[in-house]
Structure 1
């Protein structure tokens, strides 16, 4: 049985979407999660209609899980943070396709920072399939990166996977020396660099990103190629923090699926400043959705 309207009038909905997948959480007025849903990629830059379809699938899963009617769902306050929403036109396109009367759609940078810092000051490096950095102070929040795979996403899962394949081809050609990781990677393409070429010409960021766990594991095991890639990613994080004006001792949150793995490769003074994320981008979306009720 669906919940009565007096139970649902203060419902809030958080939505988090990126190149790998999307998540939806429905919470009651007390902040308790009463419904959840998951679906495929929801970055409108890559395919807006596919992103909408996946978002709608996740929203419907969450609605059923929460036992809400579609009327109740429409009246909820919803906040969506999606990778690739870099302008009002894209935000409106997504908003128009979702079943909410009270909805705000922004880039996932906003929800990631809000969730990781729980609205407090500090710097954040949310690194998953893509990447960006942000620094929040009393004067506001400054963002860096988030330009997508073709122009940026340094240190991200997609970037790591792509760099590994580049390195593997260089090894095949004798420019660089093979390591266990590059040999394993080459074997995964039947030992033929031409298969790597074919893959790279059609792969999505999420597909490149699937190679990242092997790099993280390889670096932990001392593989030279993997360690070099992780260190290159960490060096980018340091340069980006400097550009943001990061001051030694400020809280630093390495979030996302890959972010925490870079801690080992940072200088001691940065490692000492690392804090655990207070919450996820989805948590940030829920916090911001609650603000829409005020």
Structure 2
């Protein structure tokens, strides 16, 4: 099947893109990498009146250090994140986790902004940005809005953007010292059944602070197991503390049943992999050790 008829626009600036989106009154879609949009259009699940192609907007391709913060333009591609030295130094979580996304062809086209707007609850980038405490900037006819990742999603595949708004930038605070990540898939490069990301900072005395645990694939959106992370504050991540945190993590999930796994199986996997990731976080002597 082929896509239904649509108009095509290729703006040269953010302002021009927003103008097109506004003119169509919610009937236009933004295309960046097109990894999700094009298949949905070809199956006629989405029938936009127009596509607004933002690939010609150079101002959306930046990677910029700004004090302790790091900003990525919405058009930064996965393959760039994978190899960029600024990302490797300042956002090692992203540089690692991006390798779990699709295959080389997908990473050559897919963009970080497109992933966040797509709002796939199994997506690696939404999970990483949530755990890292990122904020997004969006531009619309009324100006610029800043939205924390924790407030970006209204549900599965539902980002809290107005139809005429364009996500332009993702801003990250200073990266945590340590992280660990794992995900369960049915086959290599498939969508995640369950994913777990943990970050934290370890003091000279071996005690941990700022522990954050994020879970993907277990609710309508990626979720933070805030109580589980808070329970680990000031601990040395001993086995008993890890087991208790893993049980607390189950309280924030509402897993679906789908073609990849049942809700019961996902519920079983969560504490198992939270324990494994936290153990890896504790035992890894260097930043960037992973499960």
| TM-score normalised to structure 2 length | 0.27
The structure having more radius of gyration, on CA atoms, is 1
Greater helix percent: which structure? Answer: 1
Higher relative contact order (CA 8 A, sep 6+): 1
Greater strand percent: which structure? Answer: 2
| TM-score normalised to structure 1 length | 0.27
